[in-house]
Homo-oligomer: A and B are copies of this chain.
């Protein structure tokens, strides 16, 4: 099931933070999301214990927690392995994300401050500039910030936590898909124009639907990208490693 109120903890350096468990979970999650462990590969308990400087007990507890999040799967008597997401899985994830984006849009309209709208509009214009100059990394970075700002404006920690959880899985894919499918970028930019418009008018139903459809569009782009990858390349993961974040 879902961890729906976990406070996304920052990584600690050397100094102790709140709890060892939370730290290990956070570190391990990042370690997997960042792609250090190939999807489908088994998780080497021993190595990770040495890497994190802990014994097996806390590591295994962290594994169970992350399995509950869905990032890894537990095979009976065969340990844990990194979840491998099929295209169907990705579609499913995106659909749920679309629903969360819908609520975010709905609720943001009712709760967002004028200042926050102004801040988002500023980011929007900045993103547009990057779009025109085809600066994809910056474009993508601000794009993510805008979506995050709208989700935050909904002022719902449960929503934010779940959005972050799902988004962390597909973020990398979204970036890669952007790199390949340039047509989609124009559509996305137009959709963002509409989103800004609806947000400024605080039209809840409209913004919700726009954000839903926008995310669905992203899904199609990513799935197209995945299909291309699989047909032309037997090692579909290779390119993903290039993507920053």
Partner of A89, one of B60, B96, B158: B158
Assuming the contacts A4-B70, A19-B74, A68-B66, asked whether A103 and B93 have C-beta atoms less than 8 A apart, the reply is no
Interface residue count for A (Cβ, 8 Å)? 56
A172 at the interface (CB under 8 A from B): no
**Most chain B CB atoms below 10 A, which of A73, A91, A96, A205:** A96
Partner of A156, one of B61, B65, B73, B92: B92
A18 at the interface (CB under 8 A from B): yes
Are B61 and A165 in contact, with the CB atoms below 8 A? no
Interface string of A26-65 (1 = CB under 8 A from B): 0000000000000000000000000000000100111011
Q: How far, in Å, is A29 (CB) from chain B's closest CB? A: 8
**A157: which B residues are within 8 A, CB to CB?**
92
A2 at the interface (CB under 8 A from B): yes
Q: How far is the CA of A208 from the CA of B99 in the complex (A)?
A: 10
Are B99 and A103 in contact, with the CB atoms below 8 A? yes
**A165: which B residues are within 8 A, CB to CB?**
1-2, 4
10 residue pairs of the A-B complex, CB under 8 angstroms, read A1-B3, A1-B70, A5-B73, A5-B83, A6-B70, A57-B57, A64-B64, A68-B68, A99-B104, A103-B212
Q: Top 9 A-B pairs ranked by shortest CB distance?
A: A2-B2, A99-B103, A1-B165, A1-B3, A68-B68, A1-B69, A92-B158, A99-B99, A65-B68
